[in-house]
Amino acid sequence: MESHTTATLSASGANVAAISNSHLAVGQLPSMQPLPQIRDPEWLKVEVCREFQRSACKRTAEECRFAHPSKNIQVTTDGKVIACYDALKGRCTRDSCKYLHPTYQIKQQLEV
């Protein structure tokens, strides 16, 4: 049986075990810590409906797969808004939230 070397790396502040020269016998598993779930920091950005921006969308906010933000929500230069993380979890308590409270359809897109 050949030996293997384990090194500890840091990825996004979490320790991760890495294995080099991993020639293991059948049934022999290395002990590794689970990898951290890393999301793209842009994952809460949602594209705004172009037709809605021109006041021409014939769908309701619930029917449209793109965002229909209220006037108090800032749209980025690339035509996107940021979804409210707390609203995604069902716990936003802000009276006038500056983030998009996504519809069911948009929540489904974000939770994939």
Q: How far is CA 21 from CA 3, 8, 33, in A?
A: 8, 15, 18
Q: Encode pLDDT of 89-101 as tens digits.
A: 999 999 899 999 9
Domain boundaries, the chain: 1-38, 39-112
Q: Where are the alpha helices (DSSP H) in 1-112?
A: 50-53, 85-88, 104-110
Distance, in Å, from the CA atom of 30 to the CA atom of 19, rounded to the nearest integer, reads: 8
Q: Encode pLDDT of 29-70 as tens digits.
A: 666 666 556 566 688 999 999 999 999 999 999 999 999 999
Q: Encode pLDDT of 2-24 as tens digits.
A: 444 444 444 444 444 444 445 65
Q: How confident is the model at residue 111 (pLDDT cuts 50, 70, 90)?
A: confident
What pLDDT score was predicted for residue 6? 44
> Higher pLDDT residue, 25 or 48?
48
Instruction: With CA atoms as reference, report the closest residue to 19 among 31, 35, 28.
Output: 31
What residues contact 56, with CB distance under 8 A and at least 6 apart? none
What is the CATH architecture assignment of 39-112? 2-Layer Sandwich (3.30)
